A and B are shown apart, each in its own frame.
Chain A
Amino acid sequence: MLQFVATGVVFGSILAVTASGLSLVYAILKLTNFAHGDMVTFGAYVALFLNLALGLDVWWTLPLAFIAGALLAVALDGLVWAPMRRRGAGTVAMMIASIGVALALRNALVFLFGADTTRFDMPVQPKVPLGSLPVMMSADDWEVIVAAAVAILGLHLLLTRTAIGRAMRALSDNAALAWVSGVDVDRVIRWTWIVGGGLAGAGGVLYGMTQPFNTNMGWFLLLPIFAAIIVGGIGNPYGAILGGLLIGVAQEVSVAVLPTQYRLAVGFVVMILVLLVYPRGLLGQRSLS
């Protein structure tokens, strides 16, 4: 049982990293970005290319995948989202467009890398017991957890300690007031994509370090990511982190009693149970005014 919890924490930290990025984008742009999952896939394939073609150690690809994810997100904003915002597109139109972006991105990856399942070239590490507990974890498992924690800590410091983070929270609170307070909204949006896309790219590498993957990985990851965001309270990156861990652990623990095919469904059952008690999610906004 504890072994499943441990596996769940590893998977949950990957969910937390990817979900917090998506939640941040939603909070500031009010965009439900279905392409986020494929930005995660993009990060994994950038790392795969660096790892297999250039022989770079997977750990070194992590920051590079962050940068690649950030660049992709900024490019997509310039190409798709900024023009739509300028023309006053509604949230539903933006959401549907994001599905189109997701498909385009995925097929571009299939074109470049093929649809076969693949994996990073990294040494197989032995699973070692954790103290006297009946839990076996490899060094990579630990490193994934640490990397996720560092990413989340970085996000926290950015949001609470920097002027750009303060402006992000202000924009999410009240966009019109942020405008007239002198916030350069375009700049905040650019940083939101850098952070959101970067976390997606890095999250893809972390996922690829724990299991083989193919070009559909992001699409399937998107379901638990959305569940995590909704459990935590949509638009709250901290809620997304909490939701990610909860959904991750719940899915893996369910494997102990249910066939593995039900994993995804378990995530959604947890989501529904949480929403019955906390309709706005665990850390969702209560109306303050």
Chain B
Amino acid sequence: MARPEPQAAEPILEISGLRAGYHDLEILRGVSLVVPRGRVVTIIGPNGAGKSTLAKAVFGLVRVRSGEIRFEGQSLLGLKPSQIVQRGLCYVPQTQNVFPNLTVLENLRLGGTLLREGVERRLRAMYEMFPILWERRHQKAGFLSGGQRQMLAMARALMLEPRLLLLDEPSAGLAPNVVDQVFAKVVEINRAGCAILMVEQNARRALAMSDWGYVLDMGENALDGPGPRLLADPEVASLYLGGLGGAREKSRETPRPGAGSEDGAR
């Protein structure tokens, strides 16, 4: 397994030989990856590769059969989701990532449930970073636009000041100009010192801004390398980027095993 850059920072998240799935269906069949502290790492791969399942497995929402997940050197296996976020890594799911019947402010306060103090300070920081949330703070989240909802979902996850933010397809279903805004925020969050692990369908955009990229296929590691280099790799281009636009639209309509299953998460 190649390591990100020789001079890379120490790893903040290490996943090794991870096997996980739903019921009888094994989605992840031995995935390994490393996120160095403060860096941006992206996971790409075709539908059904297990990208979203990987994210859920980290947060204890999918049962892990074997393998190891370590955050800052300590295993996350067997912990409750609330204990995992307490460690300093937060999660923005792909869909249903806000509480629609709670106001924007209540969503943010809920994200800060585990804060013992400094809730007001975090709220101010979030409003500063996402001014639209200040304008909409007393509106129910269900009435926000797709882009605003994504901003709220990120802000909710950032309330705890995580050192690693896990984003599951932050650009899914958003208009192109909104996608730009979301990616700009991701860069901004990273500049503030938070490592990012991103699962993305929008592979070109995501790889271009990533320190390291992993290609996942059939629940296994296929390739990895620095983001821009993967982007330039002819093999990656032909297998995973070429014609992605068309293939992606088509496959959106068919249910993906596991990856979109909300039942599995409950």
> A-side interface residues toward B, CB under 8 Å?
163, 166-167, 169-170, 172-185, 285, 288-289
Sample of 5 A–B contacts (CB below 8 Å): A167-B110, A179-B59, A182-B82, A288-B142, A289-B142
Q: Are A169 and B102 in contact (CB under 8 A)?
A: yes
B residues near A163, Cβ cutoff 8 Å:
109, 113
Q: How far is the CB of A30 from chain B (nearest CB, A)?
A: 9
Given the known A-B contacts A167-B113, A170-B110, are A180 and B101 also in contact in the complex, defined by CB atoms under 8 Å?
Answer: no
Q: How far is the CB of B265 from chain A (nearest CB, A)?
A: 4
Given the known A-B contacts A176-B266, A182-B113, A182-B160, are A170 and B102 also in contact in the complex, defined by CB atoms under 8 Å?
Answer: yes
- Give the contacts of B9-58 with A (CB-CB under 8 A): none
The answer to whether the Cβ of B189 comes within 8 Å of any Cβ in the partner chain is no
Given the known A-B contacts A170-B99, A289-B96, are A180 and B113 also in contact in the complex, defined by CB atoms under 8 Å?
Answer: no
A residues near B60, Cβ cutoff 8 Å:
179
> B-side interface residues toward A, CB under 8 Å?
59-61, 80-82, 84-86, 90-91, 93, 96-102, 106, 109-111, 113-114, 140, 142-143, 156-157, 160, 262, 265-266
Interface contacts beyond A177-B97, A180-B90, A185-B82: sample of 18 additional A-B pairs, CB < 8 Å, sorted by A: A169-B102, A169-B106, A170-B99, A170-B110, A173-B101, A173-B102, A176-B61, A176-B266, A177-B99, A179-B61, A180-B59, A180-B81, A180-B93, A182-B82, A182-B111, A183-B113, A184-B113, A288-B142
Q: How far is the CB of A240 from chain B (nearest CB, A)?
A: 16
Question: For chain A, what secondary structure do more than half of its interface residues adopt (helix, strand, loop), or is it mixed?
Answer: helix
A residues near B81, Cβ cutoff 8 Å:
179-180, 182
Given the known A-B contacts A176-B61, A179-B61, A179-B82, are A289 and B91 also in contact in the complex, defined by CB atoms under 8 Å?
Answer: no
A residues near B143, Cβ cutoff 8 Å:
288
Nearest CB in chain A to that of B166: its residue: A180
Q: Are A182 and B114 in contact (CB under 8 A)?
A: yes
Q: Are B110 and A178 in contact (CB under 8 A)?
A: yes
Q: How far is the CB of B166 from chain A (nearest CB, A)?
A: 9
Q: How far is the CA of A138 from the CA of B59 in the complex (A)?
A: 58
B residues near A176, Cβ cutoff 8 Å:
61, 93, 96, 262, 265-266
Q: Are B102 and A177 in contact (CB under 8 A)?
A: no
A residues near B98, Cβ cutoff 8 Å:
177
